[in-house]
Every structure is written in C-alpha cells, then in structure tokens.
Amino acid sequence: MQSMSSAPNGLSPYPIVQAPMAGGASCPVLAAAVCEAGGLGFLAGGYKTADGMYQEIKQVRALTRRRFGVNLFMPQTGYVDPAAVEAYRGQLAGEASWYEVSLAEEDIIGTSDDGYDAKLAILLEDPVPVVSFTFGCPTFAALAALRKVGTYTVVTVTSVEEARGAQHAGADAVCVQGAEAGGHQATHRDDPQIDGTATVGLLALVAQVREAVALPIIAAGGVMRGAQIAALLAAGAESAQLGTAFLACPESGADPVHKKALTDPLFVRTELTRAFSGRPARGLVNRFVREHGPYAPAAYPQVHHLTSGLRKAAAAAGDAQGMALWAGQGHRLARPLPAGELVEVLAAELAEAQSTLKAMQMRSAS
Amino acid sequence: MQSMSSAPNGLSPYPIVQAPMAGGASCPVLAAAVCEAGGLGFLAGGYKTADGMYQEIKQVRALTRRRFGVNLFMPQTGYVDPAAVEAYRGQLAGEASWYEVSLAEEDIIGTSDDGYDAKLAILLEDPVPVVSFTFGCPTFAALAALRKVGTYTVVTVTSVEEARGAQHAGADAVCVQGAEAGGHQATHRDDPQIDGTATVGLLALVAQVREAVALPIIAAGGVMRGAQIAALLAAGAESAQLGTAFLACPESGADPVHKKALTDPLFVRTELTRAFSGRPARGLVNRFVREHGPYAPAAYPQVHHLTSGLRKAAAAAGDAQGMALWAGQGHRLARPLPAGELVEVLAAELAEAQSTLKAMQMRSAS
C-alpha cells in the first residue's frame, strides 16, 4: 500500500480501517500495527476513564508516527427503569452463585455518560487525527471544535435518518454499520419496541446512505476479505472497517478463549442480544445468550456494569459459554494473522478483486 | 447489453436476474420484458397448479425467444401442529369480521407439496432453460434429470451448510439469499427456535459461500442499484437477483397498492414475519404485521391458505394495512420504470460503477 506520510485528512488513502472494539480488543499495540501496515488503526475510548484513554493515545504515538483514530461512546440519555435492572439482577443470581462473584452492588444507575465531556476535552487539548462516535451524534459545536483543531470526525450510523442527522451536525464522514456487524449496534436511540429487527444489511444500507447524504462512507459489518472491501468500494464507500477480522490477531487484547471461539465449530451462529450490556450487540450464541437474552432489559450501560464481574469470572475460568463472545456474521472467516500481515493480505485481495472486475468489464465490452 | 442468442447455459452473460416472486408479481409479461432487455426473467411456479404454471410458460415463449427461468417451491415435510393453526384462526377472527370474509374452512393441513411432482414432470417433458428451487434442495435424481434435458439448475440457499448441500446434490449454481431479501426466506428447514435471527447479511454470506463451494453464485437481497450489482460481482458472484426492484415495474402483477407502498413514507421499515404465511418472510411493517406477527405459528403453507381471503379482501379494499406488502430492505429505492428500461438503467449503472472502480485502481497504482 502507498505511504501515508503525505496523506490528506480524508479517508481515500485508507481503504482498510480497523474498528474500535471497546472492552480491551482495540489496544495500542493493535492500532499501531494496523497503522504501520498502511491501514487506519483505532483506539476505543468507551468503557475507559478519560485518563485511561489518554494513556493509550500516548502509547500509540510512541509506537507509530502515522495517523490513527479514537472512538468515543455518546452519553446515553434514555430513561432506564431501575426495577427492570433489579429484576435482571435476580435473573442472574444463579450465574453469580456458579461463578462465585457478587453482582455489582453500587448504584449503577447514572453511569451512562462514559466520561464523554472529559474525554472530549482531552481530544481538543491534545488532538488526534481522527475521532469517531458511537451510540449517537455529537452537537454541531463539538464537531466544529474538533475540526478547528484539525481532527477528522466520523459519526457511526445504522440508518438513512441517522446519516442525515450526522451530515446536518457537520460530521466529515459517516461510518455505516450494517446488521452483520459484531458487538454493539451503534443505533442512536435504543428502542426496545423495534429491538434488533430494524437493522439493515450493509450493502442495502450503503446504497441508501450513498444517495441520502454527500459524506464519505466507511462501511462496516461482516467484512473479512479483500473482495468484500472491493465490493463496498464499488457500492460507493471510501473505506471498509473491520472488527472481527482484527479481533483474531495476536496483537488484539481480546481474551484467547474469545479468539478461539470465532472459528470453533461449536459456535455456528451469532445473534443480537441485550444479555451482556442491555443494548443489542451481536455475539456468538452461547449458553449465557440463550438463557438470559430473552429476559435482558433495555438498560444500557447498567446491564454492562451488572454483568462485568460475571464476564470476568467466566473468562478467568476459560468458560466460553459464560463470556460475551462479540463477533460479526463473518466470524468463521477469521484468520489469526499478525495485524500488519492481515492488512497486507487484505490489500492484496482487494487489488486482485479489482483486477478481476476490470477483466470482466473488458470482456463484456468486447 | 450483449445479445443472448448465442448464450451458453451458464449465468455469466446474465449479471441481472429477475427474482421469481410468487403470488402474482412475476407474471409472463414481466419475465418476457426482462428477457428482451437482456436480463434473465423468471416465472414463479409456487402457489399455482401445474397447469397454471405451464400456461404461463407458454405465454412467455410467445412473448420472447430468449432464455428464461421457472422457480419451484420444494414440498414442506416438517410437522405442523393443527392446534396451532386453529389458535391462529381464532387470533384472526376480528380480521375476518372486519373484512367480511370467512377464513378458509377446508382441510388446510396436507396442502404442503405445492404440486411439486406434477410441475417437475412438466418441466422434464417440455424443458425450460433454467429452473430454480426455493425452501429446500431437490434430490440428486431430480437435478440429474433436469440436466439431462438441458436445463440449468439453481438451488436457493441462505447459509453455508445449505450451499454445501446444493453442491452435493448436483446443482449447477446457488442463489445466495441474504437477510435483506423481501418475501420468504428460502431456508431449507424452518426452525421456530431460531426464527429470523439466523439470517445473514448478503455480502457476509456471499464471502462465506464463495469459499465453501465451487458453484457459480447468484446473489439476492436488497439489490436496487447497478453499483450494488458491481459490488456483488467484485465479491465473487456471477449475477445479482432483484425482486423488489422489479416489483415496482408497471409489468409486474403486484397490486398497485403494494407497489405504491414501497416508497410511501408511511412504511419506514421491513420485518421478517410469519403473520401471513407461517414462514418468515420480509415485508413492510403494517398494522397486520404488528398485531398478528407475534402470534403467528410456524405453519407453512397452512397459514398462507388461512390468510388468503383476508389478503384478497384487504387488497380489494385498497387497504395497505391489511395486505402482505412483501419488500426487501432496499424498498425505498424502488423506481416505477418499465422492466426493460430498468434492466438498461441497471446495466448502465453497473458499467459506471465498474469504470469508477477501475479509475480508483489506476489512481492508487500510480
């Protein structure tokens, strides 16, 4: 791939973007390895303190001089019913007993802003090249302030309406997330009446967003091969963002049990579930999802904090059936290559698919 | 597009395939118009008598000399609980009263073979160029018999496992149907435990099937624009199959209320529902889906016959809220162009997307 040294602020030199995977997978070593190979690496600001995020930014800067991105979770403003969280605590009592942990007892209502203001202040004080947002759209003022310090802003969207909102707010680009994507759906307003049924497949969504807004598109969801990246560029995207593909890399901070589960024939399908966090997120269907998914309330991030101890205990026990095994619908194609090598393989596959398409076109023109 | 007169049996000269839409939309006039414009038109054998299917084949032959296809529904062999069908009859009592129709009273258990054997006999006696299958995979013997009479066979699949089964049975190609597709999911075995949650987005599914089987792929689900066809060819498909896009054409036999609803801002999303047929099918979310979807049993095609009178009465009353408004996730991009013109526009968009990709590639190589 071409050198990034003279890269402009836009996305066009970065067809391959590494998805910010909150919860440990997107560590500085992974992001830096992706950047060094010519992709756009990302840090996850979510679930960290503002200072924790800042330390990781400094670590990436020590590892690479190339451009990278930081993702922030937007504060959650919807009403969460404390009684629904307490009822789910009761549902999980057997798990707590089995894994011998106590479920978070502190007041977990009111922990829904993820330190957004403090993180934004750091990113304005000591800017990074790219900042993306999940679970909502920042204000016009916040996006303008980031642009003023030279940061390229990306808002993650899951529908045409959210893409229009992002354009209206002044985002530089949208990350279009299809139903295939692993981890949380980035839906701006979580609506339990619709739940996961309103999610749209990536290729259908890119076609609609392409015609609805003028912004560059990063396409995300189920992308594991360079031919899929070629497909998304043909559909009108500037870049493709890959999460599960990088999750399997040795540099990713995901638990080894999680990495192994991606291609374990024991796990044949994924599902959108509120079981672990209270918001629809796609993961491999395991015992925990089957038993508790149907009872999990729309209560994010309260349920995330509630299940934190359980998830840690299951991971410590090496028990894949009790962990949150986030995975996109392409998980069976995961390759445990070093991140830099994966970027190179993807770039070669992308070039090959584009050549094939070109040859097809020449043949049909003759 | 190039002439079809010397077209081989394969799919490569047909990047644009019209989906067989059972229930009236895929009439001979639509199929013939698609063929004449250089696409591959399809008739729907499902929900018809064998003779009804044969009459339509003769009508297409009178309208075009070009190659076309016929789709068959596979017989349903799963157990259906008569009590569940009766309970749903009770659920629909208010609808029957409102629309002043009586719900089908005859023995609707045991109508699940759709006249498959008789239809297959006709297609072996008087062959057509292409035959595709939905809701299952034919036997090795049936596929071999069709091949012997010169027919190209296609099995519709919704997973890697189904694609492997189709290859094993001797199909010439697979039609890979993504979660985005309108109408019925073609899942080989309907499993109410999994319901619609096991559906996979098209681009993720094509990438996986591409590596699992050696057969040519027709990719279906949410495709409305030529750039999406270019995308699917880049991902490794030979052709793209479009249903909802052709549903809106004046030649399609769909009800005008249905056609209008596709782009009506009243209908903002689609859902997989058993409400109308007893098998998960994607349609615009209207009153009938919201009210009855949660109570509809896994009982196909019994529920299809049960709701037949209601659907006709709602259509006769011009009441979109009581009709089965089948639609893929791209429905808002529907264009009410004549079918031949739509094929030409799609081909032009496809060529443009391929040229753009070629230009991008040359730029990145420089």
ipTM for this model: 0.93
Pick from A193, A203, A225 the residue to mutate for testing the B interface (most B CBs within 10 Å): A203
Among A166-170, B8-12, B32-36, B117-121, which is the least confidently predicted range? B8-12
User: A117 touching B, CB under 8 A?
Assistant: no
When pLDDT is averaged across residues B57-71 and rounded to a whole number, the result is 98
Cβ contacts of B158 on chain A, cutoff 8 Å: none
Q: Are B7 and B65 in contact (CB under 8 A)?
A: no
Residue B128 distance to chain A (closest CA, Å): 25
Q: Please give the pLDDT value at position A363.
A: 59
Using 50, 70 and 90 to split pLDDT, how confident is the model at A9? low
User: A204 touching B, CB under 8 A?
Assistant: yes
Q: Please give the pLDDT value at position B194.
A: 79
Query: Is B203–A202 a contact, with Cβ atoms under 8 angstroms apart?
Result: yes
Q: Please give the pLDDT value at position B364.
A: 57
Query: Is B234–A361 a contact, with Cβ atoms under 8 angstroms apart?
Result: no
In DSSP notation, B101-118 reads -----S--TT--STTHHH
Q: Count of alpha carbons within 13 Å of A229, Cβ hemisphere only? A: 27
E strands present in chain B: 16-18, 41-44, 68-73, 130-134, 152-157, 173-177, 183-184, 217-220, 239-242, 270-273, 281-284
User: B7 touching A, CB under 8 A?
Assistant: no
When pLDDT is averaged across residues B68-97 and rounded to a whole number, the result is 93
Cβ contacts of A202 on chain B, cutoff 8 Å: 201, 203-204
Query: Is B234–A356 a contact, with Cβ atoms under 8 angstroms apart?
Result: yes
Q: Is pLDDT of B110 > 90? A: no
Express each pLDDT in B222-264 by its tens digit.
999 999 999 999 999 999 999 999 999 999 999 999 999 999 9
Q: Count of alpha carbons within 13 Å of A13, Cβ hemisphere only? A: 17
Q: Strand, helix or coil at B272?
A: strand
Using 50, 70 and 90 to split pLDDT, how confident is the model at A195? confident
Amino acid at B101: V
Residues 228-287 of B with CB under 8 A from A: 228, 230-236, 269, 271-272
Q: Please give the pLDDT value at position B109.
A: 52
Q: Please give the pLDDT value at position B5.
A: 34
Q: Is pLDDT of A4 > 50? A: no
Cβ contacts of A179 on chain B, cutoff 8 Å: 179, 201
Query: Is B204–A328 a contact, with Cβ atoms under 8 angstroms apart?
Result: yes
Cβ contacts of A203 on chain B, cutoff 8 Å: 178, 180, 201-203, 222-223, 228, 231-232
Cβ contacts of A273 on chain B, cutoff 8 Å: none
Question: What is the DSSP secondary structure assignment for residue B75, as one 8-state letter?
Answer: P
Query: Is B228–A204 a contact, with Cβ atoms under 8 angstroms apart?
Result: yes
Instruction: Report the share of chain A in percent with pLDDT over 70.
Output: 93
Cβ contacts of A217 on chain B, cutoff 8 Å: none
Query: Is A333–B208 a contact, with Cβ atoms under 8 angstroms apart?
Result: yes
Cβ contacts of B205 on chain A, cutoff 8 Å: 329
Q: Give CA–CA dist B88/A201, Å, rounded.
A: 31
Cβ contacts of B355 on chain A, cutoff 8 Å: 361
Ramachandran angles phi, psi of A131, nearest 5°: -130, 130
Query: Is B210–A198 a contact, with Cβ atoms under 8 angstroms apart?
Result: no
Q: First-to-last CA distance in chain A?
A: 31
Query: Is B201–A180 a contact, with Cβ atoms under 8 angstroms apart?
Result: yes
Two tokens, residue B214: 């050696």
Residues 341-360 of A with CB under 8 A from B: 351, 353-358, 360
Among A273-277, B103-107, B176-180, which is the least confidently predicted range? B103-107
Query: Is B222–A236 a contact, with Cβ atoms under 8 angstroms apart?
Result: no
Q: Give CA–CA dist A158/A238, Å, rounded.
A: 17
Q: Please give the pLDDT value at position B195.
A: 72
**Nearby residues of B240 by Cβ (< 8 Å), 6 or more positions away:** B15, B16, B17, B218, B219, B220, B223, B228, B229, B232, B233
Express each pLDDT in A317-342 by its tens digit.
999 999 999 999 999 999 999 999 99
Q: Which residue has the higher pLDDT, B232 or B78?
A: B232
- Which residue of chain B is at minimal alpha-carbon distance from A15? B364
Query: Is A204–B330 a contact, with Cβ atoms under 8 angstroms apart?
Result: yes
Q: Is pLDDT of B11 > 90? A: no
Amino acid at A304: H
Question: What is the DSSP secondary structure assignment for residue A170, as one 8-state letter?
Answer: T
Q: Are B199 and B185 in contact (CB under 8 A)?
A: yes
Q: Please give the pLDDT value at position B6.
A: 33
H-type helices in B27-159, by residue range?
28-36, 50-63, 82-91, 93-99, 116-125, 140-148
User: A333 touching B, CB under 8 A?
Assistant: yes
Query: Is A236–B227 a contact, with Cβ atoms under 8 angstroms apart?
Result: yes
When pLDDT is averaged across residues B96-112 and rounded to a whole number, the result is 75
Arithmetic mean of pLDDT over chain B = 92
Query: Is B234–A271 a contact, with Cβ atoms under 8 angstroms apart?
Result: no
When pLDDT is averaged across residues B299-306 and rounded to a whole number, the result is 92
Place of tokens 């839906």: A187
